[in-house]
């Protein structure tokens, strides 16, 4: 059966999330900051007044004054052209998957408790959904191949310490659940305690993310040895270049034997007041939960509704 009604609803929500929430929010692509680049409600930042991070936070402050405010979290994007050189056919009983599919992400958040410890902190809840849709695979009725659901709660606070031209901006600590809602043998899920450190120097931002996986009983573990593929953290480097944003994400398990990891390169650029052009390249393990132990090599082209900065 076709999944067109389901995806139409998801894409509608995706588009609504990208729209300005108040008339004072002039540009939606300035309202998004992902978990890798954590946010804070405080406007007193160490960067210059026109820095990308400060613009983002000011727009979030204005938007969340609405009683119905929902803010973007991770990037919201749609890649209608996403080509994977090596699909994971083995995960689907060797069913033939198309190399070409649609990939999109929906991610939202809202603060639920501000100024917990002083004026520089807040507690957030967030929800992200990453989908892989075999839209062009008419032989299999164009199914959703994989959807990853990721609710989380985290505490964020402003630091503002500067050393040798590098500023420590924000620290977050939280709980993240991630699963794909499938039954065995395709079922995947894990729970983590996740910490983020964000640093900046001019228009360059560096986020160091690390996590601890909450242990599970062997008979309940759908993802044995997951840490061998995801590792224990990731590094994200973001560079603003006028209307362009270039991001590099690196993961590695730091093992001399059985070394595995992943790299993702993102390029977003001005396209329209409400949209950015977006190119994404991914190579390695863990692009999705069902592919945690399978290496993908993917290039995608599409549009981004809300960017990191």
* Residues identified as active-site: 177, 179
Question: Vertex 224, ends 222 and 230: CA angle to 5°?
Answer: 105
- By the 8 A CB rule, do 61 and 32 touch? no
Assigned token pair, 119 = 């004026």
End-to-end CA distance of the chain: 39
Q: What is the DSSP string of 123-163?
A: EEEEEEEEEEE-TT-GGGTS-EEEEEEEEEEEEEEEEEEEE
Distance CA 132, CA 88 (A): 12
Distance CA 98, CA 89 (A): 9
Distance CA 292, CA 251 (A): 12
Handedness of CA 111, 116, 121, 126 (dihedral sign): negative
Distance CA 56, CA 308 (A): 9
CB proximity list for 18: less than 8 A, separation 6 or greater: 28, 72, 76, 274, 305, 306
Residue with tokens 């949209």: 275
- By the 8 A CB rule, do 265 and 283 touch? no
Beta strands at 204-213 and 189-201: parallel, antiparallel or unpaired: antiparallel
């Amino acid at each position: 059966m076709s999944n067109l009604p389901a995806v139409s609803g998801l894409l509608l929500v995706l588009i609504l999330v990208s729209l300005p929430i108040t008339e004072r929010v002039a540009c939606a692509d300035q309202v998004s900051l992902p978990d890798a680049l954590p946010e804070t409600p405080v406007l007193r930042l160490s960067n210059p007044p026109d820095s990308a991070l400060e613009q983002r936070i000011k727009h979030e402050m204005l938007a969340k004054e609405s009683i119905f405010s929902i803010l973007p979290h991770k990037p919201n994007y749609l890649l209608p052209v996403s080509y994977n050189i090596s699909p994971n056919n083995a995960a689907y009983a060797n069913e033939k998957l198309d190399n070409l599919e649609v990939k999109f992400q929906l991610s939202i958040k809202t603060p639920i408790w501000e100024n917990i410890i002083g004026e520089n902190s807040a507690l957030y809840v967030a929800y992200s959904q990453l989908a892989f849709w075999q839209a062009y695979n008419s032989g299999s009725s164009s199914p959703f191949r994989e959807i990853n659901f990721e609710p989380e709660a985290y505490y964020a606070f402003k630091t503002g310490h500067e050393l040798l031209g590098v500023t420590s901006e924000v620290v977050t600590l939280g709980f993240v659940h991630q699963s794909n809602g499938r039954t065995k043998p395709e079922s995947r899920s894990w729970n983590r305690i996740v910490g983020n450190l964000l640093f900046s120097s001019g228009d360059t931002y560096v986020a160091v993310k690390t996590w601890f996986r909450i242990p599970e009983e062997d008979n309940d573990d759908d993802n044995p040895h997951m840490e061998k593929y995801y590792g224990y953290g990731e590094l994200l480097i973001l560079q603003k270049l006028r209307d362009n944003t270039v991001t590099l994400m690196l993961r590695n398990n730091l093992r001399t034997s059985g070394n595995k990891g992943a790299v993702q390169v993102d390029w977003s650029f001005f396209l329209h007041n409400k949209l950015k052009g977006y190119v994404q390249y991914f190579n390695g393990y863990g692009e999705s939960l069902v592919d945690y132990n399978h290496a993908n090599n993917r290039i995608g082209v599409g549009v981004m509704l809300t960017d990191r900065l």
